[in-house]
């Protein structure tokens, strides 16, 4: 009776030979080819493939670095190591030549004690020494650290790589990608809709084109992010950083950030409406009158509500002026969350009702005798632990833990099962 291997398409006379064949690498390789829907190969072809791969792996240079086609690209660390080993070898050769030259001189000692050497040998040795010395100097010159560039050289280098933006160029898209934009207004609308870019306090901005030019130089010349001052290697990397990090905006929070773009703004109209109180050393916004009459929601023409602009002195206290004898019983001072009345009452918001309705009980001080009585009475309320119930809970907890570990192992095992695979021998 013959036994057949369905992967390698060969027959065996005994089960022992079939089992030993199934343990070979040739059979495993044909199984992989069968899964990949490839025809089986004979044993000779398989051995040729294996020997070819082993020969390629043994191809290394004198310094032990693999020189295969796949590993031909050396990393900077390997190149540095290679140059260091080459320099060390040159130095060793130079020392050996010098040693050889000294030995030859010692052998050719004349009767009078002077050292002589044939001109041909001496010339060849000197040439080799000079050649090795020049090679060592070249390698050392190549490996020496580069001197840092000066500020002028860095600035010239940046000017050479500068990319100029026009009024119709988006600050965040690659240059020349938006050819449909033809005007400055279309460019601003594009950046606002696509990237969410806006000018802070636009009502006081007097030179928007100048501000746009300054921002374009910051990106095109300095390769800097507008929001976090990240400095990229190029303009494109800076633009990609701003888009990915959502930094397509002008920071306008700290005094330094406001001062950076202050030359493009004019706040004279805003400062006209501000008056300084010399008496109390405070500022307030004066719009026509200090007091405004606001009609009530009830619609009654006769009833009005006084809204008073609050003032604060140097100590942080509220100051009220009564030069005209105004009654302050109806005045309301709004701080956002609370209403401060002149009579001292504070009205809170309805959303904070839970906070105001809480009443924390004071801690009760117990004397020594009262503590003894409480301890004696409360000892009867101590519940005994049921051993059976405790053991059952412990078993339940252990089962849950083991089930969780089992599910985790199954998940890790299934994650390793790949639908497709790639083998080097199939290449």
Sequence spans of domains, the chain: 3-57, 76-143, 162-264, 278-355
- Verdict on whether the full-model pTM lies above 0.85: no
Q: What is the pLDDT of residues 194-243, one digit of tens each?
A: 888 999 888 889 999 999 999 988 888 888 899 888 888 888 889 999 98
d(CA 214, CA 218): 6
7 closest CA partner among 172, 25, 59, 212? 25
Higher pLDDT, 404 or 122: 404
pLDDT tens, 146-169?
566 667 776 677 777 778 888 888
Return the pLDDT at 404: 94
pLDDT of residue 395: 94
Helical (H) or strand (E) element with 10: strand 10-12
Short-list 62, 59, 80, 82, CA closest to 71: 59
In the chain, what are the helix, strand and coil shares in percent, each to the nearest 5? 50, 10, 40
CA 133 to chain centre: 48
Residue 181 buriedness (CB in 10 A; 0-12 / 13-18 / 19+): buried
């Amino acid at each position: 009776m013959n036994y057949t291997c369905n992967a390698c398409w060969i027959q065996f006379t005994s089960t022992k030979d079939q089992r030993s064949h199934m343990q070979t690498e040739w059979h495993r390789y044909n199984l992989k080819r069968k899964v990949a829907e490839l025809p089986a190969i004979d044993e000779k072809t398989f051995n040729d493939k294996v020997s070819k791969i082993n020969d390629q792996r043994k191809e290394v240079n004198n310094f032990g670095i693999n020189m295969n086609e796949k590993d031909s690209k050396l990393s900077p660390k390997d190149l540095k190591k290679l140059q260091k080993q080459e320099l060390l070898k040159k130095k060793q050769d130079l020392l050996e030549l010098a040693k050889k030259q000294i030995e030859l001189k010692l052998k050719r000692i004349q009767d009078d004690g002077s050292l002589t050497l044939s001109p041909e040998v001496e010339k060849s040795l000197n040439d080799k020494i000079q050649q090795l010395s020049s090679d060592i100097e070249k390698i050392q010159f190549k490996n020496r650290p580069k001197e840092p560039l000066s500020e002028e050289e860095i600035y010239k280098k940046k000017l050479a790589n500068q990319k100029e933006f026009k009024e119709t160029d988006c600050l965040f898209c690659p240059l020349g990608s938006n050819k449909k934009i033809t005007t400055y207004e279309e460019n601003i609308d594009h950046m606002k809709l696509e990237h969410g870019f806006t000018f802070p306090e636009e009502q006081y901005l007097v030179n928007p084109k100048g501000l746009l030019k300054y921002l374009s130089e910051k990106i095109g010349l300095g390769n800097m992010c507008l929001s976090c001052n990240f400095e990229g290697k190029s303009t494109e990397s800076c633009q990609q950083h701003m888009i990915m990090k959502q930094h397509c905006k002008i920071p306008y929070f700290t005094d330094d950030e406001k001062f950076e773009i202050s030359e493009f703004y004019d706040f004279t109209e805003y400062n006209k409406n501000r008056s300084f109180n010399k008496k109390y050393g405070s500022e307030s916004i004066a719009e026509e009158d200090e007091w405004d009459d606001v009609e009530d929601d009830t619609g009654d023409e006769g009833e009005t509500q006084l809204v008073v602009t609050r003032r604060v002195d140097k100590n942080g206290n509220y100051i009220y002026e009564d030069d005209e004898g105004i009654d302050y019983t109806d005045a309301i001072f709004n701080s956002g969350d609370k209403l401060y009345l002149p009579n001292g009452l504070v009205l809170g918001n309805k959303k904070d009702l839970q906070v105001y309705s809480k009443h924390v009980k004071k801690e009760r001080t117990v004397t020594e005798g009262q503590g003894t009585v409480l301890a004696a009475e409360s000892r009867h309320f101590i519940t005994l632990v049921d051993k059976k119930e405790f053991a059952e809970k412990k078993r339940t907890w252990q089962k849950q833990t083991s089930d969780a570990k089992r599910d985790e192992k199954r998940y890790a095992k299934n994650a390793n099962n790949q639908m497709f695979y790639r083998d080097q021998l199939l290449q």
